[in-house]
Chains A and B, each alone.
Chain A
Amino acid sequence: MPRVPYWNIDFGIVMDLLAIPVIFIFLYGFYRQWLLIRQGKMRVNPDVGKMIQGIAAFQPGAFFVRGILNEKLYRKPFSGIAHGFVFFGMAILFIGTNLVILNVLFGLPVFNGAFNQWFMAFGLDLAGVLALCGVVFFLLRRAFMPERLKLPAARKGFVIACGLLGGILLTGFILEGARLAAGSLEIGAFAGNLIAAGFIGNTHALSIHTVTWWIHGLLALSFIAYIPFSPLVHIVLAPVNAGFADPAPGVKMGVIDFSSFESEDSEEAPLLGADKLSDFTRKRFLDFASCVWCGRCQEVCPAHSTEKPLSPKGVIVTMAERLSKGQLDEPVWDNISMEAIFNCTTCAACMEACPVSINQPKTIMKFRQNLVMEQSKIPELMGKAIASLEQRAHPFFGTGSGMAEWRKDLDVPFFEAGETEYLLWIGCSVTYEQRAQKIGRAMVNILNKAGVSYGILEDFRCTGDPAKQMGNEFLFAEIAQQNIEEFSELGIKKIITLCPHCYNSFTRHYSKLGGDYEVIPHGSMIQMLMDENKIKFDKKPQRITYHDPCYLGRRNGEYEAPRALMSAAGNLIEMPRHKNESFCCGGGGGNYWAEETGRRINQERAKEAFDTKADIIATACPFCLLMLTDGLKKCTEETKAFDIAEIVASCLPDVSRSS
């Protein structure tokens, strides 16, 4: 006999009628969320295509992959699979329930034949069992919370949510068991059959069924009503936030237009950065509302994991609490310390790990911009680097090495307008830091060997990236404008960079200031020369591990070219944390000029590299090289860290290692 909805139930219509206010409560709850989020500033950016409500353009692909399929959750297999069980289990059960409704309304034949057996009976039972497993896992984890959930605070409401879910699932099974016990067992309904046969006698089946039906229905309605007022709100907000996230990788600070400061009344000019909730955009408000306080960001954060004051979770949670309490205009400095804000290495590991697509570094950087540009607050060494950038267009104050030294005894042509194809952009560290100078020398040797038409600038200037990272967007803009002008005069179209920070500046920020170039990181350039057979070298019997610079990897998605080079030069072995899960060297975000508290990030990373037992630790960023070189001194007296260009140059015939 096929299943009959509302069987054994009197006045079942009452439940249907109750569903109407529940749907209203649900919708009202989300309308309230929208009221919170719309307090944020509307973004105005002509570059972004069709902007919705001043939040961002909607990306259906990201919405589906990162929002619905939850791709990032599975990096933590246990909680990922448990979440998958609950989410997809409940999704299937929700579909099952809706099929029942369709059966009632339109007589959709769902209770017949194979479909009933495989989906409505077996499928839904399986979904229920898996979801229940997931719920049990989450309840246990709430009882024994890992640090990432506890610190600085655990979000309340998850236990109630899990309790509701567990209740719905359990009553569902009892209900099914009672129905089957009163009638006959059904092929496929393995869980229901088990309960019917094992626990529910024929005598009470009907009354158990009636009572449980009402409990199950009421729990389900409560759950739906609870969603927008609890952490469960992420069921909707997380996919929405994923859909609105910027599709390009990395933090993307954009550029600031300072023209309003030029006007007569500069007091009226907008606040730079942020010092309170209301300074943020609707997208950031959506970030804060979406956060489930899972702490995955905190766990991967190089600052937090080396006992520094910063926790990206802490920052987002602070803002989320302010959002829920409506504290829009209180300055945040009582809750978020200046030290924490400058701890951020802008490595973007947090946003890479975030399952709900929050951009934590952007919030942190907004605070940093405010500290530097509005309050003149900056740690002393960083301040000196900034002052040096402002005075002499490079941050290496007090360096003993310079232009004359890096290209000593080397044949380096100058860029000639109309003649030269590529500008070889040297960058500040390669010019002014003795160890990093060797990267430039190696690259020059490679380019000379390959016969590339390239040249360098006669006068040197930084890209301005360190200023930007330290929050001084104004200084960045000034330096960038000067460079763009000079590039235009020389007719520069193609640029080879030695440093991912320069690369990131040129591609991400110069384009927004009117400088569009074809920019090639040196690793990709060398790979191109190798593919074109312009340089040839033999593999050496050496084990090489490669450290992904954050600004090349996570921020710009370039993982393969350096690996291809290293595989050609030796045997590539990977560190436990690599590619998009790579761990920062500690030098990003201007922290090359920081005095670290707690353990030192570069030593952690150097040890990880050293422990691979590789002969050579390769990287593709001068700052990473300097940080790793320093960090390695704790592990070994040997010099093991090299730039990919140095390694390739050392494999080239006729180019001596000492170059």
Chain B
Amino acid sequence: MKTLIIENIDPKKIGELMTVSQKFCEIPDIIALGDGPVPGKFGKVWQTPKTVAANLISSVVNIIQEEKYEIILMSVSTLGTGLAGPLSATLSAPVVTEVTAIHPDRVVERPIYGGKAMIKQKLESTPAILTIRRKYFEPATLDGTTASTPLSLDADKVRLVAEKNEQADGIPLEDAAVIVSGGRGVGDKDSFALLQAMADQLNGAVGASRGAVDEGWASPTRQIGQTGKIVAPDVYFAVGISGASQHLAGIANSKCVVAINKDAEANIFNRARFGLVCDYKKILPLLTEAVKEKR
């Protein structure tokens, strides 16, 4: 099936969509947003530095109609979400957002009720639009680059005034192999330094639960969970996190969860691979030290 990826230039995101596209075609085409060379091998490549979804719609619609794409793939982001609905309406196309699995016969799966249930739906017509939840598909390795032709756009409907990156420090949560994450049980803002020290030793990132973010102990960009970021590190340290279902939804694909909590009854232990029932303030410095020794 003829597949089009629409994505910002980001090897991880494009890599994941590339993996998904293999289920539908051999070589997909792409509309790449942002500056610089487009990584990976594609059929046709359009490129524009503009990234505000609302300004892209008519051009993207034209391309889809002209090239008769059957599957449109985007990841769940302000771009993907911003395009999915309008594209579906213009193209009278079925749209499924936050897809987590793709089965044969154009059957896709996605979570509903905050991850407490999964729904399977069959795409009955083309083109069909899918947004893919991040960290559910292994990103494909992108070899080389493909030359692009510029995407022609109408005048902007929405003007981008400023873009502030609040995650300048440290590794992006989505890409970290190790995440040390703190919840309300951490107790105060200053104690997040203990988590940071440990994350630094492991080349990891610091995350936070909604509770800790609500308290103002961590920036909202650090929030992990259904309402924050979906992450899938190799090891996820949940420190003082009780394990509400909304948070568990965000770490569903973590390979190994280590729960450190004073409360032996905390729900997080139901999800954890390893559990330590103790005061994190005592164990974290020892762990950090042990990692240091090992290196």
Residues of A within 8 A of B (CB): 380, 398-401, 434-435, 595, 633, 637, 639
Residues of B within 8 A of A (CB): 214-215, 242-246, 262-267, 270, 278-279
Task: Tell which of A380, A434, A633 touches B279, judged by Cβ atoms closer than 8 Å.
Answer: A633
CB <8 Å contact, B243 and A400: yes
Q: Which 4 A-B pairs have the closest CB atoms?
A: A400-B267, A434-B265, A398-B244, A633-B262
B242–A400 contact, CB under 8 A? yes
A401 and B214 contact, CB distance less than 8 A:
no
B244 touches A400 (CB 8 A): yes
Taking A434-B266, A435-B265 as known contacts, 17 extra A-B pairs with beta carbons closer than 8 A to each other, sorted by chain A number, are A380-B214, A398-B244, A398-B246, A399-B244, A400-B242, A400-B243, A400-B244, A400-B267, A400-B270, A401-B267, A434-B267, A435-B263, A595-B215, A633-B262, A633-B279, A637-B278, A639-B264
Residues of chain A contacted by B264 (CB below 8 angstroms): 639
Alpha-carbon separation in the docked complex, A637 to B262 (Å):
9
Measured CA separation A170–B244 after assembly (Å): 73
**Which residues of B have CB within 8 Å of A595?**
215
With a CB–CB cut-off of 8 A, which chain B residues contact A633?
Answer: 262, 279
In the assembly, what is the distance between CA of A639 and CA of B270, in Å? 20
Identify whether the interface residues of B are mostly helix, strand, loop, or mixed: loop
Q: Which residue of A lies closest to B245 (CB)?
A: A400
On chain B, the residues within 8 Å of A637 by CB distance are 278
* Cα–Cα, bound, A311→B242 (Å): 34
Looking at the assembled complex, report how far the CB atom of B263 sits from the nearest CB atom of chain A, in whole angstroms: 8
Bound: A380/B213 CA distance, A: 13
Contact residues in A for B262 (Cβ distance below 8 Å): 633
Query: Which chain B residue has the least Cβ–Cβ distance from A437?
Result: B265
CB-nearest residue of chain B relative to A434? Answer: B265
20 contacts between A and B (CB under 8 A): A380-B214, A398-B244, A399-B244, A400-B242, A400-B243, A400-B244, A400-B245, A400-B267, A400-B270, A401-B267, A434-B265, A434-B266, A434-B267, A435-B263, A435-B265, A595-B215, A633-B262, A633-B279, A637-B278, A639-B264
> Distance (Å) between the CB of B199 and the closest chain A CB?
25
Q: Which residue of A lies closest to B262 (CB)?
A: A633
Set of chain B residues within 8 Å of A435, measured between Cβ atoms: 263, 265
Most A CB atoms within 10 A — which of B242, B264, B265, B279? B265
Give A601 Cβ to nearest chain B Cβ, in Å: 16
Q: How far is the CA of A380 from the CA of B184 in the complex (A)?
A: 14
Q: Which residues of B contact A398 (CB under 8 A)?
A: 244, 246
**What CA separation (Å) do A470 and B56 show in the bound complex?**
50
A647 shortest CB reach to chain B, Å: 18
- Chain A residues near B215: list those with CB within 8 A: 595
- Nearest A residue to B248, CB-CB: A400
Please give, as numbers and ranges, the residues of chain B lying within 8 Å of A400 by CB-CB distance.
242-245, 267, 270
Smallest Cβ-Cβ distance to B265: which chain A residue: A434
Give Cα A434 to B214, complex, Å.
Answer: 23
By beta carbon, the residue of chain B nearest A629 is B263
Q: Given the complex of chains A and B, what is the CA–CA distance between A434 and B263 in angstroms?
A: 10
When distances are taken between beta carbons in the complex, the residues of chain A under 8 Å from B278 are: 637
A632 to B: closest C-beta gap in Å: 10
Q: Which residue of B lies closest to A381 (CB)?
A: B214
A451 CB to nearest B CB, Å: 31
- Nearest-CB distance from B212 to chain A (Å)? 12
Task: Look across to chain B and name the residue whose beta carbon is closest to the beta carbon of A384.
Answer: B214
Closest B residue by C-beta to A633: B262
Residues of A within 8 A of B242 (CB): 400
Residues of B within 8 A of A434 (CB): 265-267
Alpha-carbon gap, A434 to B270, bound state (A): 13
A401 CB contacts on chain B under 8 angstroms:
267
Whole-angstrom distance between the alpha carbons of A573 and B265 in the complex?
29
CA distance A398 to B279 in the complex (A): 23
Q: Give complex CA distance A398, B265 in Å.
A: 15
Q: How far is the CA of A589 from the CA of B171 in the complex (A)?
A: 44
Q: Give CA–CA (A400, B270) in the complex, Å.
A: 10
Output the nearest chain A residue to B215 by Cβ-Cβ distance: A595
Nearest CB in chain B: distance from A433 CB, A: 9
A633 to B281, CA, bound (A): 13
CB distance from B269 to the nearest CB of A (A): 10
How far is B215's CA from A380's CA once the two chains are assembled, in angstroms? 10
Q: In the assembly, what is the distance between CA of A423 and CA of B288, in Å?
A: 53
| Complex-state Cα separation, A398 to B210, whole angstroms | 11
Residue in B closest to A634 when the chains form the complex, CB atoms: B279
CB B267 to nearest CB in A, in angstroms, measures: 3
- A400–B243 alpha-carbon span in the complex (Å): 7
Look across to chain A and name the residue whose beta carbon is closest to the beta carbon of B271. A400
Q: Which residues of B contact A399 (CB under 8 A)?
A: 244
Question: In the complex, A398→B266 CA distance in Å?
Answer: 13
CA distance A312 to B235 in the complex (A): 50
Which residues of B lie under 8 Å from residue A639 when comparing CB positions? 264
Which residues on the A side are within 8 Å of B267 (C-beta)? Answer: 400-401, 434
A397 to chain B, nearest CB (A): 9
Choose among A398, A400, A435, A637 the residue with the greatest number of B CB atoms under 10 Å from its CB.
Answer: A400
Look across to chain B and name the residue whose beta carbon is closest to the beta carbon of A380: B214
By a CB distance below 8 angstroms, the chain A residues around B246 are 398
Whole-angstrom distance between the Cβ of B266 and the nearest chain A Cβ: 8
**A484 to B270 Cα, complex, angstroms:** 38
Min C-beta distance of B214 to chain A, whole Å: 7
Complex: chain A residue closest to B246, CB-CB: A398
Which residues of the partner chain A approach B214 to less than 8 Å between Cβ atoms? 380
* Alpha-carbon separation in the docked complex, A400 to B261 (Å): 15
Tell me the bound Cα distance from A595 to B188 in angstroms: 11
Cβ distance B21 to chain A, nearest Cβ, rounded Å = 37
Please report the C-alpha to C-alpha distance between residue A399 and residue B243 in the assembled complex, in whole angstroms.
9
When C-beta atoms are compared, the residue in chain A nearest to B244 turns out to be A398
- Nearest neighbor of A637 in chain B, beta-carbon distance: B278
Q: How far apart sit A637 and B261, CA to CA, in the bound complex (Å)?
A: 12
What is the CB-to-nearest-CB distance from A285 to chain B, in angstroms, rounded to a whole number? 41
Give the distance in Å from the alpha carbon of A401 to the alpha carbon of B278 in the complex. 22
